[in-house]
Chain A
Amino acid sequence: MTSLVDHSARETVGFSFSEATAAGAKQHGFYPYTDNGGSTLGITGSDFAILAGDTRSTSGYNINSRMVPKVFKIGGDEETGEGARIMLSVVGFAADGTALKERLDAMVKMYKYKHGKPMSVAACAQRLSTILYEKRFFPYYVHAILAGLDEEGKGALYSYDPVGSYEREQCRAAGAASSLIMPFLDNQVNFKNQYIPGSGEGHALVARKPEPLPLETVKGLVRDAFTSAVERHIEVGDNLQMLIITKDGIQETFHPLKKD
């Protein structure tokens, strides 16, 4: 019996879309990351530290939710966060952020259980770096900021890249609107490009020396930074979450931001 199908000249299917014919053997891979937008910011003072973030969660142009906090209390009670002395903000891929927060929280609690004393911020900062670096070749896709009070009671702030490089700083902005907020912080917190009027001409001009700012001023800077970022970045908005640590503990506040 002869073949019913002519295999020598197989007909190519004609599509009306050029895209379709060009596709051929297209590989469709699985990409394990997504960007959930949002921005975070931390500033320290002589006896306090502030960590703040917006509460919008996005994927692409969609708003997932208007209330997904990015700043967490570490080492405190599971529900209320009571007893915590360290704060962590994570921005980037939210699922990695949650996983990272939960691991650090567990480690801080284990430290207290094993050693009978709370973990210092400096120790926690080093531990967070190793947690991130452990996943050097499949990183937690987040920019983390850790804050608390150091052994002298001064505000301490550590900022991280996704693979664990970190340094202690006075202030840091991270996330979607970091490029909008960070230059503002450079100028308003570290007094970059500010000079003492009439102190000289050209190179003789004396730069204004940065000094720790009072809490109320810093709160104002944080709110100004976010209201401005909301204006120019579509992934930032809805609510501003602020965590403030002083010797009396951590205080959490929410303020409305623009929802457009």
Chain B
Amino acid sequence: MDHFPGTWGRPRNDVYGAYDPSYLQSTGPKTHTSSPAVTGTSVVGVVFNGGVVIATDNLASLTPSFLLPLRTASYGSLARFTDTKRLRVFGDQAVVGFGGDVSDMQYIDRLLESIDIRENYSSHGNTLNAKNLHTYLAKVFYKRRSEFNPLWNHVLVAGFDSAGKPFLSSADLLGTTFSAPHLATGFGAHLAVPILRRLFPEERPVEEISQEEAVEALKQCMKVLFYRDARSTDKYSIAVITKDKIDLKEDEQLEKQSWAFAEKIKGYGRQTV
């Protein structure tokens, strides 16, 4: 050990060569987040008679910055955290499902917690419903994108509106919002939405859809996502929001998987015919 504390704990120069700081940005303008690092994949949600059900898997994938150019080829994705809970309960009537950057999710979670505490200390208690929460989140997202410092998330908010009707709506990093009886973010928009549209076509009134049916549909969606989304896992969280309670399960495991179809897949690897 020498008398220069700045060098303590660093790899020895005589063994590993001088530290190369060139990968750290030292010149040029200050930049904000221009791509996410640790990310969660799809969020899926469905409205049923008397409530909403919402699900995410429990994986957070890491894309190291030096592999970002490869991201489109879906290489360089480390399954970094396999126990990441991406459903957050707000008050006693709303749940937020997060996709995208996990650190931004944790920041938003702290924001929501402080609001919840502030509301509960007020004389009326926390009466903010899912619709209020969605409006708030959309404004936070829009403000941050307008500052060119986005919160890299795509969220679904589930719960009830002020009239007590089941509410499901989406907000993303640009502040874009939309609502529909069933929604999915990320890969789920391609894989889960077609399943949900087949099960719950527009002609079918929401009053006809039971809680059991909606939960079963989401489980099926999570399974299909696990089959085809490389950055997903078989552990998932699911929350059923009804008037009287929020039933949140965070350690669910996909059931009745069938990989029989895999044998029939041809055209990849060695088996080219």
Contacts and interface: CB of A to CB of B under 8 A. Distances in A.
A12 to B, nearest CB: 13
B14 A94 contact: no
Nearest to A26: B69
Nearest to B202: A66
A19 interface: yes
Interface string A1-32: 10111010000000101011001101111101
A3 B176 contact: no
Nearest to B145: A32
A3 B17 CA distance: 7
Contacts of B138: 95
B249 to A, nearest CB: 28
Contact of A32 (B73, B146, B179, B202): B146
Contact of B16 (A3, A15, A34, A68): A3
Given A3-B14, A26-B68, A26-B69, A95 B202 contact: no
B16 A33 contact: no
Contacts of B8: none
Contact of B180 (A26, A59, A67, A259): A67
A173 B259 CA distance: 52
A7 B17 contact: yes
A57 interface: yes
Contacts of A65: 178-180, 183
Nearest to B189: A62
B132 to A, nearest CB: 13
A250 B64 CA distance: 54
Contacts of B170: 64
Contact of A5 (B16, B146, B175, B179): B16
Nearest to A99: B142
Contacts of A246: none
Interface in A218-256: none
B178 A33 contact: no
A64 B70 CA distance: 27
A40 interface: no
Contacts of B176: 34, 36, 59, 64, 93-95
A71 B34 CA distance: 33
B148 A20 contact: no
Interface in A92-108: 93-95, 98-99
B123 interface: no
A195 interface: no
Task: Give the bracket for the number of chain A residues in contact with chain B.
Answer: 35 or more
B179 A34 contact: no
B84 interface: no
Contacts of A26: 68-69
Interface in A46-102: 57, 59, 62, 64-68, 93-95, 98-99
Contact of B146 (A3, A7, A138): A138
A67 B68 CA distance: 35
Contacts of A36: 176
B178 A57 contact: yes
Contacts of A20: 69-70, 73
A29 B148 CA distance: 10
Interface in B155-182: 170, 174-180
Interface string B1-39: 000000000000011110000000000000011110000
A30 B68 contact: no
B45 interface: no
B34 A30 contact: yes
B100 interface: no
Interface in B126-145: 138, 142, 145
B150 interface: yes
Nearest to B69: A23
B157 to A, nearest CB: 14
Contacts of B190: 62
Interface string B33-50: 111000000000000000
A210 to B, nearest CB: 38
Contacts of A4: 15-16
B146 to A, nearest CB: 7
A211 B150 CA distance: 50
A82 to B, nearest CB: 17
Residue in B138, B146, B150 with the greatest tally of chain A CB atoms within 10 Å = B146
B34 A29 contact: yes
Interface of A: 1, 3-5, 7, 15, 17, 19-20, 23-24, 26-30, 32-34, 36, 57, 59, 62, 64-68, 93-95, 98-99, 138, 259
Given A5-B17, A32-B145, 8 more contacts: A3-B15, A28-B35, A34-B176, A64-B178, A64-B180, A67-B179, A95-B174, A95-B176
Interface of B: 14-17, 32-35, 68-70, 73, 138, 142, 145-146, 148, 150, 170, 174-180, 183, 189-190, 202
7 contacts: A5-B16, A62-B189, A62-B190, A64-B178, A67-B180, A68-B178, A94-B177
